[in-house]
Amino acid sequence: MSPSSAAPDTLPIITIAPYLPTLAANHSDTDRAATAKALHEACRDIGFLYLNVDGFVSPDEMQNALDLAREFFHRPQEEKDDILLTKADGARGYQRLRQNVTMGKADHHEGLDMYAPSPFPDTPENAKRHLGGANQYPVNPPALKPLLEDWIVKMKTLGKAVMHGMCDGLGMDEKEWQDMWAINNDSFWSMRLIGYPALPDGQDGISCGEHKDYGCLTFLHADDCPGALQVLSKSGAWLNADMVRGCFVVNIGAMWERWTGGLYPATLHRVVHRSPTYRVSIPFFFEPNFDAPIDLLPAAKRKTAAEGRKIEEPEGKLKYGDYLLSKVTSNFKYDDDEA
């Protein structure tokens, strides 16, 4: 089977099986090389792709995740407010409709954010500091928390597989891959459940404003609502990234853009959900370690030169956690939380 084929809306479909520990035995080195090459081309040319996860995440699991997340959003407002992000560290927890802000504008969605365990020492002061607290999981529906816990384990495995495929695709040797993995092996992952009511009639609003994701890789699973998720192509046109059965939508975050000096762009995307259904999405963000330094990769320099492209030297020094904190502290409107 060819590892990459055209999807109706032009994002490639790539199978990750050759890089997954439980499925790799059925695949040859040629399959692995083909996946690595397809990842390289997709990351370079659009920064978005469909990842086929057949045999790793079952269709039932995928449907169940959306159904349980939807049940949570349909619980009474007071119950959701019990886990507002202001009740923890201002970052972990539930956000009301329009509490998220992108480019100065309220987003027409509600959400629940979770992160890897606190990167700071466990003191009472740190528990109130952004990202220093503990996750707040919904009590209802009871099956949601265990499902999310399983999901996190699986997405971390998927993250390692795609990172390895990308590093091969970039032409890293084994030592370079080991060094790269050493700054990603304790991923400061995050996960959101997002609920999108339809945009109010006639409103020229936006469900989630255009943005780049922050870290390495996003694994997005969502209800199939044609036209809702849109991706900015290099030609300047917004492409629809509609869901494909058995696949995650995967995109590159800002850290990959910096690691590769722009060879792998973190592509702008947005959500405009106009149809009357309530749309649910579950992005999982596979990120570098909290204190990972993000510097230009020699492999990216070689590859960029080999392909006759121009490199953008990243400015200054950057650690992933500092970048994330700068985003988290400006993402929410807190003033009406306790109204």
Ligand X SMILES: N=C(N)NCCCC[C@H](N)C(=O)O
Ligand Y SMILES: O=C(O)CCC(=O)C(=O)O
DSSP at 293: B
Residues 265-294 that bind ligand X (CB under 6 A): 285
DSSP at 262: T
Closest CB 102 distance from ligand X, rounded Å: 4
Residue from 89, 110, 213, 242 in contact with ligand X (CB under 6 A) = 213
Amino acid at 131: L
Where are any strands of DSSP class E within the chain? 4-6, 12-15, 48-52, 93-95, 101-102, 105-106, 110-115, 190-196, 208-211, 217-222, 229-232, 238-240, 247-252, 269-271, 279-286
Can residue 107 be called a binding residue for Fe ion (CB under 5 A)? no
> Judged by CB, which is closer to Fe ion: 208, or 297?
208
Residues 195-234 that bind Fe ion (CB under 5 A): 213
Which of 204, 212, 183, 191 is CA-nearest to residue 289?
A: 183
In this chain, which stretch among 31-39, 55-63, 97-105, 315-323 interacts with ligand X, using CB under 6 A?
A: 97-105
Residue from 208, 254, 255, 263 in contact with ligand X (CB under 6 A) = 208
> Judged by CB, which is closer to ligand Y: 160, or 269?
269
Q: Using CA atoms, how far apart are residues 110 and 193, in angstroms rounded to an integer?
A: 8
Q: Using CA atoms, how far apart are residues 194 and 225, in angstroms rounded to an integer?
A: 14
Can residue 98 be called a binding residue for ligand X (CB under 6 A)? no
Give which of Fe ion, ligand X, ligand Y, none residue 288 binds (C-beta under 5 to 8 Å, depending on kind): none
Amino acid at 338: E
Which of 162, 142, 157, 137 is CA-nearest to residue 57?
A: 157
Give which of ligand Y, Fe ion, ligand X, none residue 229 binds (C-beta under 5 to 8 Å, depending on kind): ligand Y
Closest CB 253 distance from ligand Y, rounded Å: 9
* Tokens found for residue 37: 């090459």
Residue from 75, 98, 156, 211 in contact with ligand X (CB under 6 A) = 211
Instruction: Calculate the alpha carbon distances from 189 to 48, 141, 157, 224 in Å.
Output: 19, 23, 12, 24
Can residue 327 be called a binding residue for ligand X (CB under 6 A)? yes
> Judged by CB, which is closer to ligand Y: 167, or 191?
191
Number of residues lying near Fe ion (CB under 5 A): 1
> Judged by CB, which is closer to ligand X: 33, or 101?
101
Q: By the criterion CB under 5 A, which residues form the site for Fe ion?
A: 213
